[in-house]
Amino acid sequence: MNVLLAKTEHTEAQFKALVKDYITFFKNNQGSFKGVRGTYEARPGTIDEPNKRGFQLVVTTVSEKLKWLEDVIGPHITAVMNLEATNASNNARAELVVDGESLGEFSSLELLRMISILEKGDFEAMYTNIPVRSETETWRRTEDQNYVNREVYETELSRSVNKTTLKEDYILPDPNAEKYKEGISITPQVSQRSTVVELGDGTVQRFSGEISHRERAEMLLRRTKLISALKEALKKANEAEVVTSNMTSEKLFGYIHRGVIG
C-alpha cells in the first residue's frame, strides 16, 4: 500500500503535465498531422519550376498520439484506481453500466475518482482540440509505402497543367493601302494577340493523420456517457444500507468530556 501511494503521488504531476502538453500540441501543431506530395514536369522548351515539386510527410497521427497517451498515463490511472479500491475494500459498491454493457463493479470511492478525472481535469479540452480532417475534401485510407501500418488518409491525386499567356503585337492590314500615293507616311494600326502556352504538368495529393469530425464527436459523446454512467452507479452505491458504527456520540463525548468509557 505504501509503495502504491508513493507511486501515484509521483505520477500525478506527470499525468497532469502530459494532458496539458497534448492540448497545446493539438492547438499549435496541427501541421504535424498533415502531408502533401507535389510533382511537376516541364514541357520541352519551357523553364522548369522545382518549387512545384516536393513531399512533406505526416509527422504523427491522432491514433499514435492517443496510443502514446494510453501507454504513458495508463499505469497511473490503474494505480490510482487500485489505491481507491484498496481504501474502499469494505465500501458500498455498484455495477457500472455503459451502453448496456457492464464495466464491472466499483466502490463509491473508485467511482468518485473516475468522475473527478473525467470532469475536473483537462480531458475534455484535450479531446475537443484533437485535429480533424477537412470535410471539404474526400479522404480514403492511404496505401502509400511511406505510411505502412499507420492511420494516414489521402485525397485523390489532383492533376493540373501549368499555363501562361504570351502577348504578341502585330500590324493590322490596311484595306486602303493600294490607294495611298507614294511618299505619304502612314501610321500602321497595331493590335495585340494572346496565345496560351502550356508550360508543364503537375500533381498534388494531400495526406492526413487527423481523424474525422464524427470520430472526435463520438469520443466526446462516449466521455459524456461514461460520466453519466459513473454518476448513476455512484447514486446506486450510495443507496446501500447504512452500517452502524461502534462509535457513538455518547461514547465519543462521554470519554472526552467525562472520562467515561462504555
Question: Is pLDDT at 153 greater than 80 in this prediction?
Answer: yes
Q: CB-based contacts of 18: which residues, under 8 Å, 6+ apart?
A: 69, 72, 73
Please state whether the predicted TM-score (pTM) of the whole model is above 0.85: no
DSSP 8-state assignment for residue 135: T
pLDDT reported for residue 36:
95
Please give the pLDDT value at position 1. Answer: 47
Q: Which residues of 62-71 are buried (b: 16+ CB within 10 A; e: fewer)?
A: bebbbeebee
CA-CA-CA-CA torsion sign (26, 29, 33, 36): positive
The share of the chain scoring above pLDDT 70, in percent, equals 82
Each residue's pLDDT tens digit, 42-97: 999 888 999 999 999 999 999 899 888 888 888 888 777 777 776 666 667 788 99
Per-residue pLDDT at 34: 95
| Residues contacting 197, CB < 8 A, separation 6+ | 46, 163, 164, 165, 166
For the chain, the structural domain boundaries read 2-163+200-258
How confident is the prediction for the chain on average, in pLDDT?
A: 84
Q: Which cell goes with 195? A: 496565345
Q: What is the pLDDT of residue 159?
A: 95
Q: What is the pLDDT of residues 162-186, one digit of tens each?
A: 999 989 888 888 777 666 666 566 7
Nearest alpha-carbon partner for 234 in 77, 86, 78, 93: 93
pLDDT at 234 > cutoff 80 = yes
Q: What DSSP line would sit under 206-242, residue for residue?
A: EEE--B-HHHHHHHHHHHHHHHHHHHHHHHHHTTSPP
Of the given ranges (8-22, 47-61, 187-201), which has the lowest mean pLDDT? Answer: 8-22
**Per-residue pLDDT at 244:** 60
List, in order, residues 6 or more apart from 30 with CB less than 8 Å away.
131, 210
Does residue 247 register a pLDDT over 80? no
- pLDDT higher than 70, residue 20: yes
Q: How is residue 3 annotated by DSSP?
A: H
